[in-house]
């Protein structure tokens, strides 16, 4: 049996955008559910959700790169960077072939797909899509 070691943690969540913020929210019984702010809920019965809030991708990603990533990818990059910083990893001292990252998302790229399909439906039928549609959704 091989061993796995968790050396660092990061978190971008509806309860906070760092591990400490997330933990403090858990300890204090804070709910991540709030009124939906990412889209108009006028025609929906449900008006609340657990959204990531107050996230600034520029803390983690160069401005010129931000538009290339769907929010779910931005969250992954940010939490991975936090985990590396938390672990105080010096990659020059490690065998990079023995390092891995485990990350998961239940629905990657949905906001980018929705945005592109909405733009397509507003248009004249000519298929014009952002060249980053596929990379942002993966």
| CA 12 – CA 67 distance, rounded (Å) | 19
Instruction: Give the range of the structural domain holding residue 61, as residue numbers without chain letter.
Output: 19-106
Instruction: Answer whether residue 99 is part of any domain.
Output: yes
* Residue 35, pLDDT score: 97
pLDDT at res. 92 = 92
User: Does residue 38 sit within a domain?
Assistant: yes
Task: Give the pLDDT of residue 51.
Answer: 94
- Record the pTM: 0.74
pLDDT (0 to 100) of residue 55: 97
Count of domains observed in the chain: 1
Average pLDDT per run of 10 along the chain, which is 138 residues long? 82 96 97 93 92 96 91 91 91 86 67 74 73 62
Domain assignment present for 91:
yes
Domain membership of residue 86 (yes or no) is: yes
- Tell me, yes or no, whether 54 lies in a domain: yes
């Amino acid at each position: 049996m091989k061993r796995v070691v968790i050396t660092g943690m990061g978190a971008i969540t509806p309860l906070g955008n760092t591990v400490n913020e997330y933990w403090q929210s858990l300890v204090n019984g804070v709910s991540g559910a709030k009124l939906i702010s990412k889209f108009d809920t006028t025609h929906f019965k449900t008006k609340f959700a657990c959204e990531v809030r107050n996230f600034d991708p520029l803390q983690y990603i160069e401005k010129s790169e931000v538009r290339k990533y769907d929010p779910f990818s931005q969250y992954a990059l940010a939490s991975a960077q936090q985990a590396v910083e938390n672990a105080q990893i010096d990659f020059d001292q490690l065998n990079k072939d023995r390092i891995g990252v485990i990350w998961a998302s239940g629905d990657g790229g949905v906001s980018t797909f929705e945005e592109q399909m909405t733009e397509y439906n507003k248009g004249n039928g000519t298929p014009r899509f952002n060249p980053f549609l596929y990379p942002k959704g993966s």
